[in-house]
Amino acid sequence: MLLVTDIRENKERIIEGLKKRNIEDLSVLDKILEADDNRKKTQFELDNILAESNQLSKQIGELFKTGKAAEANELKEQTSSLKEKSKKLQEDLNNYKDELEAYLFQIPNALHESVVAGKGEEDNVLVSTHGEVEEKEGLPHWELASKYDIIDFELGTKITGAGFPVYKGKGARLQRALINYFLDKNTAAGYKEILPPLMVNEASARGTGQLPDKEAQMYEIPLDGFYMIPTSEVPVTNIYRDVLMEEKDLPVMMTAFSPCFRREAGSYGKDVRGLNRLHQFDKVEIVRIEKPENSYAALEAMKNQVATILEDLGLTYRILHLCGGDTGFASASTFDFEVWSPAQHRWLEVSSVSNFETFQANRLKLRYKGEKGTEYCHTLNGSSLALPRVLASILEHYQVEDGIEIPEVLHAYTGFTKIS
């Protein structure tokens, strides 16, 4: 969530960043400042009363020691009155804190100055395209998966439901090869590998912004108060929830593989064919925790990391800078990577690389001690990469008359060079 101090000190910048999201009514910002004023005023009054009460308690103790019980009892009546006042002030303080948090949870992150305004994906800015955009007459990946018996969508529907495919034989081995290759590329670039839990509690989901914004997309386990993770970003970033770091320990660079679980309510049509949109899928993530002044250089480094992997796989891809209307709730700036699907004649998103600035760190209470004192960190993450659509693009791009060739960079991981 936004920092109240930032709203106070940089209100015009915040307003400009929020208007790019097509938010017209920003009266909530004034409500935030009013609630914070009430909170601070009440905290000041409460602190004064508690200090006065503590001072009286010391005096009462001294009076009893010196045999002045009558005077001590008179002061005790004053302390009783102060306790009642402090109780009421504490209740008011809690209410103002709750009110302030409720307002802050309503508003998304203010967008970075580099993000353009726009209504939706049609207004996203094309940064670059790499490779040739070819429209082949070959089979789409779901038909290739059936032909060579490497992914069984019907079996997954039988076992669980639509959107839960079963990978088989060389399909399973290719999936595992991609996971290991992505992790090896990321660790070679300096990212520390993490194997996180697949379920998180409510505090973790709130810390990275999944709650209260994305409840409809998450699978919940009500009996235990857990949520299945929609991405490993959630548990990995929460490693540093409620942590005060030393400046020398920054940056933190982590990578993690996990299955991801998303309800994807409302999906239909061509967007859900085959591997295009799943409820369970595998993904390798990269996460960084940075000093504020370094975070946009880190964002560029993460973009380069994803680009290098796609180039090694020989896939055609493009990079888009998302406009205000298409940028996620918690992000200040996001770049999407899309690979070309030759048989479907369309682009498929495989990665989002985002800088959240202090938005997550404020929720997480993730700070560091530097020369200027205690400051909030910036958090970033990116898919490096989401597997289903990468795999779909590989199957379609590398299909030949008698099978599917495997990208050379994966040969050492698969143990085979062709599916036939």
Q: Which residues are documented as binding site for L-serine? A: 231, 262, 285, 381
Binding-site residue numbers are 231, 262-264, 285, 349-352, 381
Binding-site residue numbers for ATP are 262-264, 349-352
Question: Phi first, then psi: what are they for 173, rounded to 5°?
Answer: -70, -35
The sheet that has 220-221: what strands, in order across it? 199-201, 226-228, 220-221
The tokens of 91 are what?
A: 């209740």
Q: What is the DSSP letter of 420?
A: -
Q: How many CB atoms lie within 10 A of CB 134?
A: 10
**According to the 3-state scheme, what is the secondary structure of 73-111?**
HHHHHHHHHHHHHHHHHHHHHHHHHHHHHHHHHHCCCCC
Q: How many CB atoms lie within 10 A of CB 48?
A: 12
Question: Phi first, then psi: what are they for 347, rounded to 5°?
Answer: -90, 140
The sheet that has 403-405: what strands, in order across it? 399-400, 403-405, 418-419
